[in-house]
Chains A and B, each alone.
Chain A
Amino acid sequence: MRWAALGALAVLLVLPNFLGSYLLTVFIFIFFYAYLGQAWNLLGGYGGQISLGHAAFVGIGGYTSTYLAMTYKLSPWIGMFVGGAAAACLGAVIGYLGFRFGLRGFYFILLTVAFAEICRLVVSHVEALGGALGLFITFSGDPWQFQFSDNRYYYYIALGLMLAAMGIVALVERSRMGAYLAAIREDEDASEALGVNAFGTKLAAIVLSAFLTGVGGTFYANYLFSLQPNTAFGIPLSVEIILRPIVGGSGTLMGPILGSFILSPLAEVSRAYFAKGGLSGVHLIVYGSLLIAVVLFFPRGAYPYLRGLVRGRRGGA
């Protein structure tokens, strides 16, 4: 297993030398959404606290670093951590309110959606943040400004983000906190009865998850060169983030990554082959059908299924 992982990593490291700009872009989005999915996974997968407002953290992170870069010439390399911290603060507020007042299940989901919407509306009305038009970043190709004239750099940054999130989540998974989170997910009342500080653990999870997602916001802004409240804080982005861990297997380390490696190529292939004819939207129907098929075949996610398959074979042999 370890060798397979190292092999995969080696392949990913040398891959850019063989890929054109287009495939690099595809991989960049695979890594990036896997990264965001992993950040979500920490709270939603391991802790069972489903957030449908994670786009808010992307937006806060992206807006913070972009605003600092445009107004104070602060490099987004530093700004991305400031953005992460800002997102973590928002996460703390949402977490405190939600967990302190014992919101669970649908009520917590609604709270996260509400906060994302509030952020979207507030930013739409803040003059300094470009209002509803948003912020536009000048393309200069200056590395200090988090811009590169070659997609390969973005590739390695996105890969680095994905691996870093994986490392952090792996550490959490093995720590006491990971065990607490799983216990809370399975039965919060029982875990509390056993002495788990459910409030503190969940709060820590949402703060960390928000921080990581916020850091990703800077990448989002500097790869797409503009931020609009409707896209950066919108529900579609939140859904995009959640889909990966759900399809790949939420609450597993490899889930978001596998999910991203399944979904992004699926979307891209359906786009490349079914979006050409006169009928617009066919590719979305194809993508949707494939998505339904994936969820039907792997109801608990692709990774648990694969793991079961590998173990089953070994057991049989």
Chain B
Amino acid sequence: MLNRRTFLKATGAAAGAAALGFPAVLRAQPKEIKIGAVHPVTGPLAEIGQACRLGAQMAVEAINAVGGIKSMGGAKLVLLPGDSETKPDVARTVAERLINEGAVMLTGAFHSGHTMAMVPVAQQRRVPFLVDISAADVITLNVAQSVKEGKQKTQYVYRNFPTTTAFGRKAIQFMNEIFKATGTSPKRAVLMYTNDPFGKPQSEGFIKAHKEQGAPFEIVEVIPFPEVPTDLSTEVAKARAAKPDIICPITRAVSATLLLRELAKQRVDILGVISPGAPGLYEKGQIDALGKLIEYTMDNVPWINPLSAKTRKIAEEYAKRSGGKTFDTNSGYSYEAITIMADVLERARSTDPDALVEAIRATNMKDPIMVAGGPVRFNEVGDNANASTAMIQILSQKPLVVHPKESAEAKLVFPAPKFWERG
């Protein structure tokens, strides 16, 4: 009896064989290797998405300029840019289309929800997906788990970005090292966070790492505030009442502005503002708007490596191409994802998905352009365990890396002068 299911299976298998077997022959010596890059180029995250796309595009051009993939006869990379429109359903559809257009690898997608929507596409269609930016631990963890339980055969999803857990761990580690190096010993910390898909897990990661790794300071108060606050005076008053030595804020642009102004207004007496990792505390627009209030603020963020000559050169070109924008975390990680893919292709000598996965797993790429704890290497979960953050500080109105020492371009200032002593 031929029911729909067996019919489906049979036709599916036939179609699958036709789809997979045939191109395998064609794939032997490609002149072009297509990479699909899905980013939120329009919608609420448009600015970030455009930075990511330009970063990826520049990386592709740079690789082609020095001869493409040499092990494959100098095959050129071609970027297939996709726009998720900041919507998860569009992210999934676009990923499918880019694969149809010939993408042999995928990268993206900045928003963890969008990345999640692309994961099943990568797994189903056996197209390796190197996540360039997305911090939620589950993205790779889930797939690794499924493979371990035998529900999926191979893991096609990998990531070169610090996970939420890594963010928290690095924040505590760096803070401990900084306090030791400066001979300071803050005792009381107040954690303030914006309650949104970014702030919430970020704050939890910080608290968890604090518990696990231990620190000389205690988190005496945790104060959430809504996603787009109109006023933070109550929250700051509450923080002030807790008599903190340091304030650890997890902000967005608007809340960062309000928070720093309010801290100064209420003359909160602290050793410094150290963020476990948040936007809003280092962007040019923010620095211009806040002036000396944002000076000395520290932030634990993924950052480009300022000591690498390679990175500095890319940054110069990026500024030219983008009309004066900074080569930052977003454009940087999207750039780096492409360089890792090129390295993978070079070693795989093929675009066969399983050969690519094998090459990804064997990756050991030195001199990453981002601040990192070592070469790019993927662990059993599929994450680059060396993907790291850096502690940056606003000094003379510029965000500069001050920690870890190997990547530091300036000497950190801690304790910071009080808000009212800054002239």
Would you call the interface of chain A mostly helix, strand, loop, or mixed? helix
The answer to whether B42 and A281 have CB atoms under 8 Å apart is yes
Interface status of B304 (Cβ within 8 A of chain A): no
Q: Please give, as numbers and ranges, the residues of chain A lying within 8 Å of B29 by CB-CB distance.
A: none
The answer to whether B145 and A138 have CB atoms under 8 Å apart is yes
Interface status of B92 (Cβ within 8 A of chain A): yes
The answer to whether A226 and B152 have CB atoms under 8 Å apart is no
Residues 117 to 148 of chain A near chain B (Cβ within 8 Å): 124-125, 131-134, 136-142, 147
Cα(A136)–Cα(B93), bound, Å: 19
> Which of B112-120, B170-178, B408-416 touches A?
B112-120
Interface status of A284 (Cβ within 8 A of chain B): yes
Q: Please give, as numbers and ranges, the residues of chain A lying within 8 Å of B112 by CB-CB distance.
A: 133, 136, 226
The answer to whether B85 and A139 have CB atoms under 8 Å apart is no
The answer to whether B83 and A21 have CB atoms under 8 Å apart is no
Cα(A147)–Cα(B116), bound, Å: 14
| Chain A proximity of B217: nearest CB distance (Å) | 25
The answer to whether B124 and A150 have CB atoms under 8 Å apart is yes
The answer to whether B93 and A29 have CB atoms under 8 Å apart is yes
Cα(A20)–Cα(B89), bound, Å: 18
Bitwise, B67-88 to A at CB < 8 A (1) or not (0) is 0000000000000011101011
Interface status of B53 (Cβ within 8 A of chain A): yes
Residue of B nearest to A125 (CB): B195
Cα(A317)–Cα(B152), bound, Å: 60
Cα(A247)–Cα(B126), bound, Å: 37
Cα(A21)–Cα(B113), bound, Å: 21
Q: Please give, as numbers and ranges, the residues of chain B lying within 8 Å of A142 by CB-CB distance.
A: 151
Q: Known interface pairs A141-B152, A226-B113. Does A136 touch B136 (Cβ–Cβ under 8 Å)? A: yes
Interface status of B421 (Cβ within 8 A of chain A): no
Q: How many A-B residue pairs have CB under 8 A?
A: 130
Would you call the interface of chain B mostly helix, strand, loop, or mixed? helix
Q: Please give, as numbers and ranges, the residues of chain B lying within 8 Å of A272 by CB-CB distance.
A: 97
The answer to whether A280 and B46 have CB atoms under 8 Å apart is yes
| Chain B proximity of A55: nearest CB distance (Å) | 12
Q: Place the interface of chain A in its size category.
A: 35 or more
The answer to whether B92 and A25 have CB atoms under 8 Å apart is yes
Residue of B nearest to A276 (CB): B81
| Chain A proximity of B40: nearest CB distance (Å) | 10
| Chain A proximity of B165: nearest CB distance (Å) | 13
Cα(A225)–Cα(B100), bound, Å: 22
Interface status of B123 (Cβ within 8 A of chain A): yes
Interface status of A228 (Cβ within 8 A of chain B): yes
> Which of B11-19, B284-292, B342-350, B372-380 touches A?
B11-19
| Chain A proximity of B126: nearest CB distance (Å) | 10
B contacts with A, residue count (CB < 8 A): 54
Q: Which of B97, B99, B199 has the most CB of A within 10 A?
A: B97
Q: Please give, as numbers and ranges, the residues of chain B lying within 8 Å of A284 by CB-CB distance.
A: 42, 85
Interface status of B182 (Cβ within 8 A of chain A): no
Q: Please give, as numbers and ranges, the residues of chain A lying within 8 Å of B96 by CB-CB distance.
A: 21-22, 25
Bitwise, A175-203 to B at CB < 8 A (1) or not (0) is 00000000000000000000000000000
The answer to whether B119 and A225 have CB atoms under 8 Å apart is yes
Cα(A142)–Cα(B152), bound, Å: 10
Residue of A nearest to B96 (CB): A22
Cα(A210)–Cα(B96), bound, Å: 31
Q: Please give, as numbers and ranges, the residues of chain B lying within 8 Å of A124 by CB-CB distance.
A: 195-196
Interface status of A224 (Cβ within 8 A of chain B): yes
29 examples of A-B residue contacts, CB within 8 angstroms: A21-B100, A22-B96, A22-B99, A25-B93, A29-B89, A131-B195, A132-B227, A134-B113, A138-B142, A140-B149, A140-B152, A141-B146, A147-B120, A149-B123, A150-B124, A223-B92, A224-B88, A224-B117, A226-B116, A230-B196, A230-B197, A231-B87, A236-B87, A271-B83, A275-B41, A275-B82, A280-B41, A280-B42, A280-B53
